[in-house]
Structure 1
Amino acid sequence: MTFELTKSLIEDIIFSMEDQDGEFALDASQGCVISLDSMLQSEIEELDENDSLYSLPLWTSNDGFEIMEDFAESVRIPKVRSELEQVLSNGRGVFRNYKNLLNKYPHIEKQFHTFKEKKMRAVVLDWYNSLRESWGLEKLNQDFDDYDDLIQQDFEFIPYNQTKDYDCILAEAKKIAEEIKEDFTGEAAKAIAHFWLRRFELESGDSKQLPFLGIVARTTAEDFAGLLLFSDCSSFAKKVVALTAIFVNQNFRGLGIARELFSRGISYLKSSGIQSIIIADSALPDFLEPLIARCGFEKKGSFYVLEKADI
């Protein structure tokens, strides 16, 4: 007997797969997961004889541990990744300790649950496609990845406000400068951090008077998460802006905030009448080059340019 794999059914299957204490199966006649623990043996046999009963995908604690390992490797924040890997290497109480550590980083925790759910949905889909093959049906290609984006739920993206945001942005920029120092030694570390701030015009006392346009990302609790900032060039080139700074708070990296900042920033600049966006090669981290290429920027010499027709 065939059945349709719906989003709600996937959720029920995953929930039951993780319950290591009970025995469950899918009743195709009802299109739902049932507990075999509460059924008589004769009832189970009847369903089985009618081809209505299907065993759920096999899922063990080893599978759960493997997901935790894979997720730890994917975390881009070195401090958090190191802590997760340390928990995994300790052995005893690993599942509880892993959960407790994630509780310290709410946004990383949400990222883990999304990662885990996607992996488990893939297992369910493989299982369902095996059944479809036995029914003589084609496999499904959909991945049911229609859950709300965590970024949309947990972050707000608002236009940069010079009066409200400047002091916070300057403080965050100085934190980034301290991070930069860790990659160098001695006087060179100080000089490079100083150059980073000066390059973004954020160390000068006059910078507070400079005209900026941009987008600030904050959590729903108003914590700073990231910034995309452009300098207004209207004094010598009307309707043109140049990238001043792009950075994401260390606690929120790896969530796609930089991508969202660029997407929203370009739309915001377009609505503000901007016709050209310029990014100096030296102002752009290497890992962002693929992102701005997808946004339509074209490299010309040592600059990336997005013209009016592409904005």
Structure 2
Amino acid sequence: MDTEQTSYSLPPLTEELLESIIFSMEDQESCFYLDLLKGSLITEKERAFLLEDEGNQQEERFLPIPDWEPSDGFHLMEQFANRVRNPLYRTRLMGALQSGKGVFRKFKDTLAELPILERKWFAFKEEQLRRVVITWYREQEGVLGLLKLPAECEELTEDILLEDFTFESIEGEVPPDLALFMQELLEMGRASEDEDAIASFLLARRIELLAPTHFQIARTQEGALAAFLAYELLDNGVVEVPFFAVRREYRGLGLFRLLFDSFSRQMARLHYTRILITLSGDAVTMDRFFSPYGAEPICRQLVIKSDQWNTANRSSEEAFL
């Protein structure tokens, strides 16, 4: 808009106006305009009435809001599905989007199966639409007329998780559902091959030798066990975490980070200042998760197949022949 040739200017982008624009963008039945005189949204019919009443010279008073087509919504769903770290639900969401007719309904039905994922979708969708509106606003009149809105986080808010899960420390007898979950982990490992089976063997040894009696656990609001970590209090302000796990249906949501956060803060209150954590199986790549916080490796276990070594290297036993 050429602000030097008109007396109209963009109103401040308040939260109320921002939400109104987002809501109107998703309305596929009507076209909406921003009335620069009143600072509010009007429909195509209302705009036509005002133009007829006031004359076409007032046309620059009305600014069409950003277009938002069904294809834009579909693209947004694809973005979200690709960001879901849980492989089970990522596959199901992508399958819904590729199923042809009724993809929007199938996508929403899949999300509804896991309320925490559904909440994340709504948060992601709102965040992306906010970006579209703010970018469009800046294109219209630069940043001078904008309010200083809160900086937007790259990660979705963790408040959603905090609403859906509770965290607690337990000591002494292992709850039955936790004992059952640990047994399930061992059985899944034994059914695997190679490195997974070895990781399961090591986990079984740790459970047997350590017989942990301290746990930090996460439960859903309905009381179902979602994740846990075992720990033992050592000397000199050191606490050891020999193993931990998150149930498959809750992986990829950021739950472990919150579980570990609640655990770390609890340990600090008890004056345990260093946490020794063992990574095995699928968790070995989580060293990247801890490295930004000053984590340093103190030992490492590797698995190598003897036949691969023996095939790739000349036998040193020949020296004794």
Q: 2:204 aligns with which of 198, 203, 219?
A: 198
Provide closer, same or farther for how the CA distance between residues 15 and 196 of structure 1 changes in structure 2, counting only shifts above 3 A. Answer: farther
Whole-Å separation in 1 of the counterparts to 2:51 and 2:166: 51
TM-score for the superposition, normalised by structure 1:
0.80
More displaced, 122-131 or 72-81? 72-81
Whole-Å separation in 2 of the counterparts to 1:82 and 1:48: 54
Provide closer, same or farther for how the CA distance between residues 173 and 25 of structure 1 changes in structure 2, counting only shifts above 3 A. Answer: farther
More displaced, 56-65 or 170-179? 170-179
Unaligned runs of 5+ in 2: 1-8, 302-321
Pairs within 5 Å for 1:61-210 = 61-133=70-142, 143-145=151-153, 149-163=159-173, 166-180=175-189, 184-185=192-193, 188=194, 191-192=197-198, 194-201=200-207, 204=208, 207=211, 210=212
Provide Cα deviations, 1:253-282, integer angstroms capped at 9, x if missing partner: 222111112222111001112133212454
Q: Which residue of 2 aligns with 1:273?
A: 271
TM-score for the superposition, normalised by structure 2:
0.78
Whole-Å separation in 2 of the counterparts to 1:142 and 1:223: 36
Provide closer, same or farther for how the CA distance between residues 143 and 122 of structure 1 changes in structure 2, counting only shifts above 3 A. Answer: farther
Identity, in percent, stands at 28
CA RMSD of aligned residues (A): 3.2
- The alpha-carbon deviation at position 91 of structure 1 amounts to 0.9
Whole-Å separation in 1 of the counterparts to 2:27 and 2:57: 22
Where relative contact order (Cα < 8 A, 6+ residues apart) is larger, the structure is 2
Whole-Å separation in 2 of the counterparts to 1:116 and 1:56: 18
How many residues of Structure 1 are paired with residues of Structure 2 in the alignment?
289
Contact 1:181 1:189 in 2 (8 A): no
Provide closer, same or farther for how the CA distance between residues 178 and 21 of structure 1 changes in structure 2, counting only shifts above 3 A. Answer: farther
Q: Which has the larger radius of gyration?
A: 2
Return the letter of the residue paired with 1:41: A
Whole-Å separation in 1 of the counterparts to 2:75 and 2:187: 35
Whole-Å separation in 2 of the counterparts to 1:244 and 1:29: 65
Q: Which residue of 2 aligns with 1:309?
A: none
Return the letter of the residue paired with 1:155: F
Provide closer, same or farther for how the CA distance between residues 14 and 83 of structure 1 changes in structure 2, counting only shifts above 3 A. Answer: same
- The alpha-carbon deviation at position 44 of structure 1 amounts to 4.4
Unaligned runs of 5+ in 1: 304-311
Q: Which residue of 2 aligns with 1:240?
A: 238
Whole-Å separation in 2 of the counterparts to 1:176 and 1:44: 69
Provide Cα deviations, 1:196-229, integer angstroms capped at 9, x if missing partner: 531441xx3982xx442x4211122212221232
Whole-Å separation in 1 of the counterparts to 2:117 and 2:84: 8
Whole-Å separation in 1 of the counterparts to 2:140 and 2:101: 38
Q: Which residue of 2 aligns with 1:29?
A: 37
